[in-house]
Amino acid sequence: DADIESHIYLMLANDLIHSIVPSAITVGEDVSGMPTLCRPVDEGGFGFDYRLAMAIPDMFIKLLKEQGDNDWDMGHITHTLTNRRYKEKVVAYCESHDQAIVGDKTLAFWLMDAEMYTGMSLFASPTPSMCVDRGLSLHKCLRLLVLGLGGEGYLNFMGNEF
């Protein structure tokens, strides 16, 4: 059942935001697949400008937990990255703070785990760690895929700025 009062509140809030600051951008975080989330209020929509692509980080964590990276299905990854409504703008991201906060690991830790502490020092070993090299390479590839295919916006996870 839909909470009509909440829907009306979001419609009014987005309408007010866009009437006060026409250049403002609002982003809806929705896991239900609400079809009118990014439709204009005058069309009966919620009026958000973008939707967060929340399936993407969940897919990556599931892949990292359940499969080795040699077994990843690129067709499945590509489908998840491009699966969105026609003309609906999406903000894509690789990982979320929610995953790190609830006791799960970040992508970097899933890819490199304990080597994060020992394999990144130039002083500990004269030869680079294969685990760290592979993990960093995969981390960059995942972010590049999301940036290129994920949508019209990209949300960076803190710590991945550089």
Q: Which residue has the higher pLDDT, 116 or 56?
A: 56
pLDDT in tens, 67-91: 998 999 999 999 999 999 998 999 9
- Token match 């979001």: residue? 10
Q: Report whether pLDDT(100) > 90.
A: no
- Pairing of β 90-92 and β 153-154: parallel
- pLDDT range class, residue 41, cuts 50, 70, 90: very high
Strands (E), the chain: 27-28, 50-52, 90-92, 153-154
Q: Report whether pLDDT(116) > 90.
A: no
Predicted structure pTM score: 0.85
pLDDT computed for residue 105 by the predictor: 85
Strand order in the sheet with 50-52: 27-28, 50-52, 90-92, 153-154
End-to-end CA gap in the chain:
44
Q: Mean pLDDT score of the chain, rounded to an integer?
A: 90
CA dihedral 140, 145, 147, 150 (to 10 degrees): -150
d(CA 54, CA 92): 8
